[in-house]
Structure 1
Amino acid sequence: MKNNGITDIYPSVAVAEQTENLSAESPVAIGRVLKSLRTEHNLTLEDASKKTGVAKSTLSKIENEQISPTFTILQKLASGLGIEIPQLFVAPKKPLTTGRRDITENHQGQSHLTTTYEHELLAVQLSGKKMMPYKSRVHARSFDDFGEWVRHDGEEFLIVLEGEIQLLTEFYKPRKLSTGDSAYYDANMGHLVISTSDEDALILWITTA
């Protein structure tokens, strides 16, 4: 039987208990796991060093399997990355390839007409998409055509395909964008687009679901 409080006195015992069920047949390279966790958190080596308190050079050596981390370093890594120590011993999962694909031929998207935009929804055969692509012919010419800001969850990217537009956003000055120009912004912020060219502009929008 285990003595009560032993894991408090000897932390390494706790790690051994938590990791005792890991497969001994497939030893995990901690460096590979650490690098995977770091990139998953979108951290550079310098960022990870600041979060964990482990020197950048030490992190690099661990990731390249040049040194093995001490228990103290494992504690710092787990604390800084917001994980439990045993997760450093679990091989990163390989991304699942779904093989999904959808092709939309020119002018063959699903039409959705509003008073301000003429949308052409793309890739409509795919359900559960993480982003929504669509082209829009911009009929609106002023804020008054909308009456209020457009707001919705997620983030949004647009690129001007034809003509010129003015991007109006709640916290920034209006910005004129021409063919080839693009913008990326928080869609929870009030935003809208109006045409400023003689012909109604055409833009490609990509919105996160």
Structure 2
Amino acid sequence: MSDEPFFLKEEKEKLGLQRGNGQTEATLEPLQLGKRVKEIRLSQNLTLEEASKLTGLARSTLSKIENEQISPTFSAVNKLVKGLGIDIPQLFSQPRRGAGAGGRRDITRGGEGLPHPTPTYEHELLATQLSTKKMIPYRTTVRARTFDEYTDWVRHDGEEFLFVLRGSLLLYTEFYEPLELFAGDSAYYDCEMGHALVSTSEEDAEVIWVTA
């Protein structure tokens, strides 16, 4: 008897990955579901805490799923799908082997990005039609006015580039003194290091962020 969860088998059938569809199970690469969950979370610029609130799964549970320490139950999969706003095939889809990205393109018209508000930021996610991106671009209005509005440092995987479009702000980073940036200024930093932005101009500052 196979130990494969029934929901995984069902989705593989939908994607034509079972025997009898021109491809045998022996030729499939193992599905790293945790890696896929993390990839989707980062593509939406969500911290573990934010994803936990959206999905109703504990932060520790999400972390264990992403690090392949546990396999999600059917109930957890449903929560992930609903909370992250995706469908099940997206969660179980495999990148095409040898598929190049040289011809990909995604256009986001002004004001047509995917909104993702938080208590301190109002994000507009850009290039949301592309999956498995190497960079995550987004435009953000900084609502926070004091560092005290953050319950903790913002941290996530990767490196980040910040460009100030308008207004002025304080860039707080864990190992450096706060630095005021103005329109046209930019910064590049490791985003595993705690960081946060606070608007200092009369109007909320607006920035472009690119996370890699």
Q: Which residue of 2 aligns with 1:129?
A: 133
Q: Which residue of 1 aligns with 2:190?
A: 186
Q: 1:142 Cα shift?
A: 1.1
Larger Rg: 1
Of 155, 158, 174, the match for 2:162 = 158
- C-alpha distance in 2 between matches for 1:182 and 1:196: 16
Alpha-carbon displacement from aligned partner over 1:108-166 (angstroms, at most 9, x marks no partner): 10000110000000000000000100000000011111121011110000000010010
Q: Which residue of 2 aligns with 1:175?
A: 179
- C-alpha distance in 1 between matches for 2:166 and 2:155: 24
Runs of 4+ in 1 over 2 A off after TM superposition: none
- C-alpha distance in 2 between matches for 1:146 and 1:135: 20
Q: Which residue of 2 aligns with 1:69?
A: none
Q: 1:189 Cα shift?
A: 0.4
- C-alpha distance in 2 between matches for 1:192 and 1:144: 11
Of 149, 153, 167, the match for 1:149 = 153
Q: 1:206 Cα shift?
A: 0.3
Change (3 A) 1:195 1:101: same
- TM-score, structure 2 normalization: 0.52
Count matched residues.
114
Change (3 A) 1:137 1:156: same
- C-alpha distance in 2 between matches for 1:135 and 1:117: 10
Describe how 1:1-209 pairs up with structure 2 within 5 A.
Answer: 96=100, 98-208=102-212
- TM-score, structure 1 normalization: 0.53
Q: Which residue of 2 aligns with 1:52?
A: none
Overall identity of the aligned pairs, in %: 60
Alpha-carbon displacement from aligned partner over 1:62-100 (angstroms, at most 9, x marks no partner): xxxxxxxxxxxxxxxxxxxxxxxxxxxxxxxxxx55300
Q: 1:105 Cα shift?
A: 0.7
Q: 1:103 Cα shift?
A: 0.6
- C-alpha distance in 2 between matches for 1:101 and 1:137: 25
Q: Which residue of 2 aligns with 1:76?
A: none
Alpha-carbon displacement from aligned partner over 1:4-26 (angstroms, at most 9, x marks no partner): xxxxxxxxxxxxxxxxxxxxxxx
Amino acid at match of 1:187: C
Q: Which residue of 2 aligns with 1:89?
A: none
- C-alpha distance in 2 between matches for 1:97 and 1:147: 38
> Helix, strand or coil for the counterpart of 1:127?
coil
Can you give the 5+ residue segments of structure 1 that lack an aligned partner in the other structure? 1-95
Q: 1:106 Cα shift?
A: 0.6
> Helix, strand or coil for the counterpart of 1:180?
coil
> Helix, strand or coil for the counterpart of 2:148?
helix
